[in-house]
A = this chain, B = another copy of it.
Amino acid sequence: MDYQSRRNHLQERLQRRKIDAVLISQPDNRRYLSGFTARDHGIEESSGALLVTTTGKTWLLTDSRYQLQAEEETGLPVLVYRKGLVRLLARLLATVDCQRFAFESHYTLHSVALAYAELAEKRRIALIPLKDLVEAQRQVKSETELSLIRHAVSLNEAVFTRIYSGLSAGMSETEVAMAIETAMHEAGAEGHSFATIVAAGSNSARPHAVPTTHRIKSSEPITIDMGLILNGYCSDMTRSFTLGPADDRYLTIHRIVRAAQLAGLAAIRPGIPMNYVDRAARKVIEEAGYGRYFGHSLGHGVGLAVHEAPSLSPRNRRILKAGMVVTVEPGIYIPGWGGVRLENMAVVRDGGAELLNHDATDLDL
């Protein structure tokens, strides 16, 4: 991965905004620009930050636990803080010519920003809160990234296929979810990209269901939403089905959702607004009379994060670009009965959507 050219690209954008140095604390952005793979146990337990200057210097600031890893993975000069990031930052900013210092407003706690403000006032430098600067850069993937995402999708499908063949009535949702996550590790994944959803019966009516001890019945709808991380890149896939023969109501709803998914995929191409894709899929569900049972957005970007820009939401009027990777995941959720969601991932290509999934299990019933 060419981290240097990513940083060069960032530096050019900083120069245009007349920013001398930026602190990158968002973990995926930090990894994107440096290759440092450490994860943070929540925003309160950071494993470090990058200071990128427009003169071409970059430091990785971390604590002693991560020093070795940071040096090995990034090749960047690593500075270790013992009394917190802010004190080290104060010393470091004194050594570089910095009039305008920026930080990530959308991934910095208010209490930490207060400390930056104090520091900036003391050193008489301007403090610039930035939003989504690196996120914007991350939206369009390189071919190398697309290849890594393809591998993550493919491994996720292999895990799904293996688990699917062993499913039977009487297994609990939790049992299946844990089997999936264990299989992901055994298959060589770094981990799951989000807590695996296995939801059967009325639990499947919750888009963000948490697996329970409920034992799956042969006739009820089941939704499995799963994703893994491989080489840092995420996958995300949802399948809905029944173990035994599906009844008419299930088949009707499933086919509407599938038609909506295909309509969404068919609408994808560079240059169109993102809500146009959502509209194309949503229209199918609305016209079938189920509009009020589809409450979420059609899809989201996937990359180093499993949920990232762009959002295929009804309100997002930004324009799709070639190289973006999105999920297309319409759903119908009926309280008390259950739900159906079908999710695949696609790359925006000049000619339209390139589907990243090959799995066709229970898509076309």
In chain A between 187 and 240, which residues have their CB closer than 8 angstroms to a CB of chain B?
Answer: 191, 194-195, 206-208
- Which residues on the B side are within 8 Å of A174 (C-beta)? 185
* Most chain B beta-carbon contacts within 10 A, residue among A110, A175, A186, A206: A110
Closest B residue to A211 using CB positions: B185
- Which residues on the B side are within 8 Å of A178 (C-beta)? 181-182, 185-186
CB atoms of B105 and A129 under 8 A apart:
no
Sample of 14 further A-B pairs with CB below 8 A, known A111-B129, A181-B181: A43-B43, A44-B107, A65-B206, A65-B207, A65-B295, A103-B110, A105-B111, A106-B109, A106-B110, A106-B111, A109-B109, A110-B112, A110-B113, A178-B185
Tell me the bound Cα distance from A186 to B177 in angstroms. Answer: 11
In chain A between 99 and 139, which residues have their CB closer than 8 angstroms to a CB of chain B?
Answer: 103, 105-114, 129, 131
In chain A between 3 and 26, which residues have their CB closer than 8 angstroms to a CB of chain B?
Answer: none
Interface check A64, CB cutoff 8 A: yes
Number of residues in A with C-beta < 8 Å to the partner?
Answer: 39
Interface check A307, CB cutoff 8 A: yes
Choose one: B68, B114, B129; the contact of A114 (CB below 8 Å).
B129
Q: How many copies does the complex hold?
A: 2
Question: Could you list some 19 contacts between A and B, CB below 8 A?
Answer: A41-B194, A41-B307, A42-B42, A43-B43, A45-B307, A65-B206, A68-B335, A105-B111, A106-B109, A106-B111, A107-B109, A108-B109, A110-B110, A110-B113, A111-B129, A174-B185, A175-B185, A178-B182, A182-B182
Tell me the bound Cα distance from A206 to B295 in angstroms. Answer: 45
Shortest distance from the beta carbon of A248 to any chain B beta carbon, whole Å: 27
Shortest distance from the beta carbon of A338 to any chain B beta carbon, whole Å: 14
CB atoms of B295 and A64 under 8 A apart:
yes
In chain A between 282 and 320, which residues have their CB closer than 8 angstroms to a CB of chain B?
Answer: 295-296, 307
- Which residues on the B side are within 8 Å of A207 (C-beta)? 65
Shortest distance from the beta carbon of A183 to any chain B beta carbon, whole Å: 9
* Most chain B beta-carbon contacts within 10 A, residue among A111, A181, A208: A111
Shortest distance from the beta carbon of A89 to any chain B beta carbon, whole Å: 15
Tell me the bound Cα distance from A307 to B44 in angstroms. Answer: 10
Given the known inter-chain contacts A129-B111, A178-B181, A185-B178, please indicate yes or no for A44 contacting B206, CB distance below 8 A: no
Shortest distance from the beta carbon of A166 to any chain B beta carbon, whole Å: 15
- Which residues on the B side are within 8 Å of A45 (C-beta)? 307
Shortest distance from the beta carbon of A113 to any chain B beta carbon, whole Å: 4
CB atoms of A44 and B110 under 8 A apart:
no
CB atoms of B110 and A108 under 8 A apart:
yes
Chain A 35-55 per-residue mask, 1 if CB under 8 angstroms from chain B, else 0: 000000111110000000000
